[in-house]
Structure 1
């Protein structure tokens, strides 16, 4: 093998986690419009339960050799992550009944600047200056995106639920990183998908959703596709976040609402110009919140020194 080919192959191998995250970000962006279409055939929480049941089956089939030796800690990790996944995706899916897939994606992207804030509240890790700048940009973007004026910031029901979902997804990212070095990733991925599905099925009757909508072939196809997509997303996130710097991963994830907006536009959605500006500010806030300028690093080193 020539030296140039060896270096090229080595370079691709080193970049494989980042490339994988970009690919699942595209898949994730396309899932919003797919879920919105699927709601024509199902109630929202049962839809999420079926989606993650399909994902759990898909991951289990390709992870059978990894499922032996499951520990109580892995069951606990799967239950905790599964609970926030269920909350995040259920609220997001209910919200999609009253807002566009593009708007939902931009609102969901707020989970990125929320991650360092929640790390601060839960674990005492103080956010850097750029996190606060990113949060400010994301908040201004939220005002524009939701069509509010500065005089009275009001959110409709779908927007409120989607924002709640972004908090839950931020917790998902935190818990995945927290448990990543302590557990078997494959086993926990299966468990978190299983628990997410189980929690949705348990909660659905309390919300008046009691019948499984399995009679339409369109729904079956959507669930299989989303199940496989969800399985890929969870597996790749759990694998890649052990190899990719969290800041770099967050910047890659920032592309998700852009892809969702593109797919939504292809499907006929048209956000107002002000809402588009707001969406772009949310994405900018996401990127800025994870940006660590060189001068800030020097200041930090001087303080530590």
Structure 2
């Protein structure tokens, strides 16, 4: 009688991605703390200005070859980043970091939906199932027990932010392989910062007192964002997209764990909704494999003979 053994192994690159995911999960709590010291658009502007400066300093030689196409790509992606993270930060003023993280995670199943609405690309079966699961999860997560279909302002703002992040992913994919990654990264981070700062005026924001807590969080997130972006580009070269997605799905889970440690308590219904969103993210990345027709294979082999 043979005994089956299950082998569990993690590549160094995958371990690094897991650590990155843990860090990003904790950033929701850090940002929620920051918005008690600053208005959202100023904080996002400061955060991405730091990140742009950090990446720019290590890419000075590369920046000299900046092309018009790369400038357009960076600006478009940067606008999407500014919208996504500013709205996410705005939403954190009224909802918990755990809830924000799970709603933001919906950007994964939203990508194929946006591709269908904007580009006419029909989503596959698994993507459709993932979208349905994620939206069921959103209703359960955000809706109070007496009215499951009621979404509060914070949930709606965060959901719109997730749509903007999904648009960012689509734009990055559209220019992938056509532009220099380092140059575009600097432009997109700088654009995100400028757009966020510019939005302070119509939003009625003013520059807050530069407290130690605000400076540490903004500069810390900015520098670590730059380091993590470079590290992710290196790690994902040897990690399949599917495995990377599974690892990134842990981000809202880690956010929930950190939120729990900080005293946040999600009700049972919200936890079920969070599980639906995670399932929707995972399912949307699964691909159905077509079964090979043995008759066709035999016919092909006979033709070769």
Indicate conservation of the 8 Å contact 2:49/2:189, yes or no: yes
TM-score by length of 1: 0.87
Structure 1 residues 123, 244: closer, same or farther in 2, change over 3 A? Answer: farther
Residues in 1 aligned to 2:146 and 2:32: alpha-carbon distance in whole angstroms:
30
**Structure possessing the higher radius of gyration over alpha carbons:** 2
Residues in 1 aligned to 2:279 and 2:113: alpha-carbon distance in whole angstroms:
17
TM-score by length of 2: 0.87
Structure 1 residues 83, 34: closer, same or farther in 2, change over 3 A? Answer: same
Structure 2 residue aligned with 1:101: 97
- The answer on 1:84 being equivalent to 2:117 is no
Cα RMSD of the aligned pairs, angstroms, is: 2.6
For residue 215 of structure 1, report the CA deviation from its aligned partner.
Answer: 2.3
Structure 2 residue aligned with 1:189: 185
Pairing partner for 2:40 from 35, 39, 44: 44
* 1:114-129 aligned within 5 A: 114-129=110-125
Residues in 2 aligned to 1:93 and 1:19: alpha-carbon distance in whole angstroms:
28
Residues in 2 aligned to 1:199 and 1:94: alpha-carbon distance in whole angstroms:
15
Structure 2 residue aligned with 1:3: none
Structure 2 residue aligned with 1:298: 291
- Please state whether the residue corresponding to 1:181 is helix, strand or coil: coil
Indicate conservation of the 8 Å contact 1:176/1:238, yes or no: no
Indicate conservation of the 8 Å contact 1:107/1:166, yes or no: yes
- Please state whether the residue corresponding to 2:291 is helix, strand or coil: helix
How many residues align structurally?
Answer: 289
* 1:9-24 aligned within 5 A: 15=11, 18-24=14-20
- The answer on 1:59 being equivalent to 2:51 is no
For residue 282 of structure 1, report the CA deviation from its aligned partner.
Answer: 0.4
- Please state whether the residue corresponding to 1:292 is helix, strand or coil: coil
Moved more, 139-148 or 38-47: 139-148
Indicate conservation of the 8 Å contact 1:27/1:229, yes or no: no
For residue 140 of structure 1, report the CA deviation from its aligned partner.
Answer: 1.3
For residue 175 of structure 1, report the CA deviation from its aligned partner.
Answer: 1.2
Structure 1 gap ranges (5+): 1-10
For residue 16 of structure 1, report the CA deviation from its aligned partner.
Answer: 5.6
Residues in 2 aligned to 1:268 and 1:259: alpha-carbon distance in whole angstroms:
14
* 1:149-298 aligned within 5 A: 153-211=149-207, 213-237=208-232, 244-294=239-289, 297-298=290-291
Residues in 1 aligned to 2:244 and 2:111: alpha-carbon distance in whole angstroms:
12
Structure 1 residue aligned with 2:3: none
Residues in 1 aligned to 2:244 and 2:117: alpha-carbon distance in whole angstroms:
21
Indicate conservation of the 8 Å contact 1:189/1:238, yes or no: no
- Please state whether the residue corresponding to 1:270 is helix, strand or coil: coil
- The answer on 1:144 being equivalent to 2:137 is no
Structure 1 residues 192, 215: closer, same or farther in 2, change over 3 A? Answer: same
For residue 36 of structure 1, report the CA deviation from its aligned partner.
Answer: 0.4
For residue 235 of structure 1, report the CA deviation from its aligned partner.
Answer: 3.3
